[in-house]
Amino acid sequence: MPKAAEQGAHTNTEATVELTAGQLSAIKIEPVGTISFAVEKDEMGNIDYDQDLAVQVFSAYPGKVINALASLGDTVQKGQPLCAIDSPDLIQAESALISATSTLELTTKHLARVRDLHGTNGVSEREFEQVTSDQHTAEGAVRAARNTLTLFGKSEDEIDRVVSTRQVDRELIIRSPVTGRVTARNAQPGLLVQPGTAPAPYAVADLSLKWLIANVPEADAPLFKAGQQVRATVSAFPGRTFEGKITRLAQAVDPTTHRLMLRSEIADPKDELRPGMLATFTIRVSEPVESAAIPMTGVVRNGDGTMAAWVTTDRKHFAQRIVKVGLQDSNRYQVNDGLKPNELAVTDGAIFLSNMLQAPPSD
């Protein structure tokens, strides 16, 4: 039966309950234990691309887009073609190679004739040396022209094809410099492009890392430091945790919102996180603390907002004890006041005892 607290009892004791043998099966009694609680802080933020790994892909030469090969959201490999442009500079470079090749063929034939005549003293030594010099000059011009085309991204086979067919290949292929996802596409047929002039035809981002951007209250600013480990969760993947670390804190607090911007790098090897996702992240702000603990099923919140546990000395009579809780893990509260280690307490079924106070069983 419920009883009022006796005079001189523990100051946090409010009521007592006596249970029958049958009622005892509804609760669980254990000594209060101690565990290590991680001292952590939870904040909210948003996922974004890692802008340090996002590349604006420009053409190295001016021209006009004639074919867009990659679409927004496509996953591309390093070196994969993104678009083709019609480049006057490429046409000029290929024409120079064709001209240099023709000149080399002429000087080669001329050198062969002069070499034969030189063997029979049909030409002077001076003329032979001049023709030989012309041959070397022509060979150098061809090498330079071929090297120029490699700067345009042309392969040796493509260069050989230009030489053999004597026809220019107008397409300059713009390739992805990194493996990642196409995060922006401005390229479309007819777009005029200039080196380094916005907008870039494409943007490609390495998505193995993401940014988590958060604005934390200025009162919490001293808790955060670059290098701290971060655990992030998003509603799209319940039960999953994404690991990372804080990489940057703003130098100043926003004077309007009184919040401090911080940025974390989050590992996302499977590219599951999407920019704009709302994320909850947790950091450890100090070393774990050893403290008395009680399962959440052993604590009841009263109508006045206080938290109460139930203690016993004889496993039959139970006293309600007001407790102050602090940190918590997945299923336990840290008890800062009201319980001592090894004290017998109800660890499961506290709500059963509290209900008995409100609706005591009839005799």
Residues forming beta bridges with residue 205, ordered by sequence position: 54, 181
CA distances from 246 to 11, 43, 48, 150 (A): 45, 13, 14, 42
CB-neighbour burial class of residue 326 (10 A; exposed 0-12, middle 13-18, buried 19+): middle
The token pair at 200 is 């870039």
Average pLDDT on 139-168 reads: 87
What average pLDDT does range 245-256 have in this prediction?
A: 94
Token pair for 316: 């039959």
Q: Closest Cα to residue 294, out of 345, 256, 252?
A: 345
Q: How far is CA 252 from CA 215, 221, 257, 261, in A?
A: 12, 10, 12, 8
pLDDT band (50, 70, 90) for residue 4 = very low
Report H helices in the chain. Answer: 88-119, 125-151, 156-165, 350-358
Scanning the structure block, which residue is given the tokens 């777009």? 191
pTM of the model: 0.57
Beta bridge partners of 76: 180
Q: What is the rounded CA–CA span in Å between residue 349 and residue 300?
A: 9
pLDDT in tens, 257-286: 999 999 999 999 988 999 999 999 998 887
Q: What DSSP state is assigned to residue 51?
A: G
What is the fold of 3-38+289-358? 2.40.420
CA 215 to each of CA 48, 132, 212, 243, 253: distance values in angstroms, whole numbers, following the listed order:
14, 73, 10, 19, 9
Residues 317-356 pLDDT 10s: 999 999 999 988 879 999 999 999 999 999 999 999 988 8
Q: What ranges do the domains of the chain cover?
A: 3-38+289-358, 42-52+206-287, 89-155
Using a 10 angstrom Cβ sphere, with 0-12 exposed, 13-18 middle and 19 or more buried, the burial of residue 96 is middle
Res 2 pLDDT > 60: no
Q: Which two tokens stand for residue 100?
A: 């240099």
pLDDT for 202 beyond 60: yes
pLDDT given for residue 5 in this prediction: 40
- Please write the tens of the pLDDT for every residue from 216-245: 999 988 889 999 999 999 999 998 999 999
**Would you state the pLDDT for residue 121?**
66
State the average pLDDT over residues 184-193. 92
Residue 66 phi/psi, 5° resolution? -115, -15
**Whether 41 contacts 348, CB under 8 Å:** no
Report DSSP letters for 232-269, one per residue: EEETTSTT--EEEEEEEE-SS--TTT-EEEEEEEEE-T
Name the CATH superfamily housing domain 42-52+206-287.
Efflux pump adaptor protein, beta barrel domain (2.40.30.170)
- Looking at residue 361, its pLDDT comes to 52
> Which pair of tokens denotes residue 149?
């085309």
- The residues with which 234 forms a beta bridge, in sequence order, are 279
Evaluated on CA atoms 8, 10, 16, 21, the torsion sign reads negative
| Amino acid type, 212 | L
What single letter denotes the amino acid at residue 48?
D
Q: Give the mean model confidence (pLDDT) for residues 180-201.
A: 91
* Confidence at 94, pLDDT banded by 50, 70, 90: confident
Measured CA to CA, the distance from residue 35 to residue 282 in angstroms comes to 20
Q: How far apart are CA 110 and CA 131, in angstroms?
A: 7
Mapped onto helix, strand or coil, the DSSP state of residue 43 is strand
Length of the chain: 363
pLDDT score at 288: 86
Among 3.30.1310.10, 1.10.287.470, 3.20.19.10, 2.60.40.2250, name the CATH number for the domain at 89-155. Answer: 1.10.287.470
Q: What is the DSSP letter of 46?
A: E
Phi, psi of 92 (to 5 degrees): -65, -40
What's the mean per-residue pLDDT of the chain? 87
